[in-house]
C-alpha cells in the first residue's frame, strides 16, 4: 500500500512588540483556545493546524517572533506570510511596526517584484472596497475589517496582513483609531487589515483565512505557470 503523501506546509510568522497578543492570536487560531505559557520562555513559539484551503489540505505552522528587533534574519526567512500585530490601546506598538518590525521583515524576506495594476485614472484596480463586520467585543462597535490590495514596490515578497488586536479593551482606552490602521495597511501594501479580539476570537479566523487564501493563490499561480509547457512559435522575421 502506497504511503500517504504528507500535507504541504504553509509557514506564517507573527510579528509585533511585546504585550500586543501575538501568542494569543496564534493559539486562538490554531487551537481555538489560548494555552497558558511560561513567562520566562523567550524563545520563538510555534503552533500548527491542519486545514483545507481552496480544496487542498495544508499543515499551517504559525510561529510567534518574540522580538524581531533582536532576532537573526535566518529565524524569519522561509516563511510564506506574515501577520503584523499592534494593540489598539497602545500607540507605540503601531509605531514599532512602521519602524523596527517592517524594516526587519523587509531585510529578511525581501521586497515584492509586483507592481500595481492601474486604470487610466491612476487608481489601483486590485484594491477591494472597505468592509465592516459586526464586533464581538461587547461594546456594540463594529470591528474594522478591510481587505486591501497588495500593490507596489514597498510590499514584501510574501503576503502580509495587519492586525489591530485588543479591540475588546478599546471601549474605554482606545489609542489607535481604525483609520490609522487602514492607512498603515495601505502604506505597507498589506493584503488586508483587521481589528481583532484574540481573547474572544473576534475576527481572528477571518484575518488568518484572508492571509492563507492569498498565500495559496500565489503558490498555485506559480505552480500552474511552472507546469505549463512552452509552446513553440512559428513567427517569421522579415528583413527589409
Angle at 140 (CA atoms; ends 134, 144), nearest 5 degrees: 40
Beta strands, E only, 65-168:
81-87, 131-133, 143-147, 160-165
The whole-model pTM stands at 0.77
Residue 236 included in any domain: no
Residue 121 included in any domain: no
Each residue's pLDDT tens digit, 151-165: 344 678 999 999 999
Residue 94 included in any domain: yes
Each residue's pLDDT tens digit, 106-148: 888 888 764 333 333 444 434 433 334 444 554 455 666 655 5
Instruction: Provide the pLDDT for residue 140.
Output: 52
Instruction: Provide the pLDDT for residue 149.
Output: 46
Residue 211 included in any domain: yes
Residue 239 included in any domain: no
Residue 216 included in any domain: yes
Instruction: Provide the pLDDT for residue 199.
Output: 94
Strand order in the sheet with 143-147: 45-53, 56-64, 9-15, 81-87, 160-165, 192-195, 143-147, 131-133
Each residue's pLDDT tens digit, 50-103: 999 999 999 999 999 988 877 766 668 899 999 999 999 999 999 999 989 988
Instruction: Provide the pLDDT for residue 240.
Output: 34
Question: Does the structure show a pLDDT above 80 at 38?
Answer: no
Residue 180 included in any domain: yes
Per-residue b or e along 188-227, where b marks 16 or more CB atoms closer than 10 Å to that residue's CB: bbbbbbbbbbbbebbbbebbbebbbebbbebbeeeeeeee
Residue 103 included in any domain: yes
Per-residue b or e along 16-43, where b marks 16 or more CB atoms closer than 10 Å to that residue's CB: bbeebbbbbbbbbbbeeebeeeeeeeee
Q: How many residues does the chain have?
A: 240
Instruction: Provide the pLDDT for residue 115.
Output: 38
Cell of 239: 528583413
Question: What total of structural domains would you count in the chain?
Answer: 1
Which residue segment(s) compose the domain that 92 sits in?
9-115+126-227
Question: Does the structure show a pLDDT above 70 at 227?
Answer: no
Question: Does the structure show a pLDDT above 60 at 211?
Answer: yes
**CATH number for 110:** 3.40.50.300
Calculate the CA 196 to chain-centre distance: 13
Amino acid at each position: 500500500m502506497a504511503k500517504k503523501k504528507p500535507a504541504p506546509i504553509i509557514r506564517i510568522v507573527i510579528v509585533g512588540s511585546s504585550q500586543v497578543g501575538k501568542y494569543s492570536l496564534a493559539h486562538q487560531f490554531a487551537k481555538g483556545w489560548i494555552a497558558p505559557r511560561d513567562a520566562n520562555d523567550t524563545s520563538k513559539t510555534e503552533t500548527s493546524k491542519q486545514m483545507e484551503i481552496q480544496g487542498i489540505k495544508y499543515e499551517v505552522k504559525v510561529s510567534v517572533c518574540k522580538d524581531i528587533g533582536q532576532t537573526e534574519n535566518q529565524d524569519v526567512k522561509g516563511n510564506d506570510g506574515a501577520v503584523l500585530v499592534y494593540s489598539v490601546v497602545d500607540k507605540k506598538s503601531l509605531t514599532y511596526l512602521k519602524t523596527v518590525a517592517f524594516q526587519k521583515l523587509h531585510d529578511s524576506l525581501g521586497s515584492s517584484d509586483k507592481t500595481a495594476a492601474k486604470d487610466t485614472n491612476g487608481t489601483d484596480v486590485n484594491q477591494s472596497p472597505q468592509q465592516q463586520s459586526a464586533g464581538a467585543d461587547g461594546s456594540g462597535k463594529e470591528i474594522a475589517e478591510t481587505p486591501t490590495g497588495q500593490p507596489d514596490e514597498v510590499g514584501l515578497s510574501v503576503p502580509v496582513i495587519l492586525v489591530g488586536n485588543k479591540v475588546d479593551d478599546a471601549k474605554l482606552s482606545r489609542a489607535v483609531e481604525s483609520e490609522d490602521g487602514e492607512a498603515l495597511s495601505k502604506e505597507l501594501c498589506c493584503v488586508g487589515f483587521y481589528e481583532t479580539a484574540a481573547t474572544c476570537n473576534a475576527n481572528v479566523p477571518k484575518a488568518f483565512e484572508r492571509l492563507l487564501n492569498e498565500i495559496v493563490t500565489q503558490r498555485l499561480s506559480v505552480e500552474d505557470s511552472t507546469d505549463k509547457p512552452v509552446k513553440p512559435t512559428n513567427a517569421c522575421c522579415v528583413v527589409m
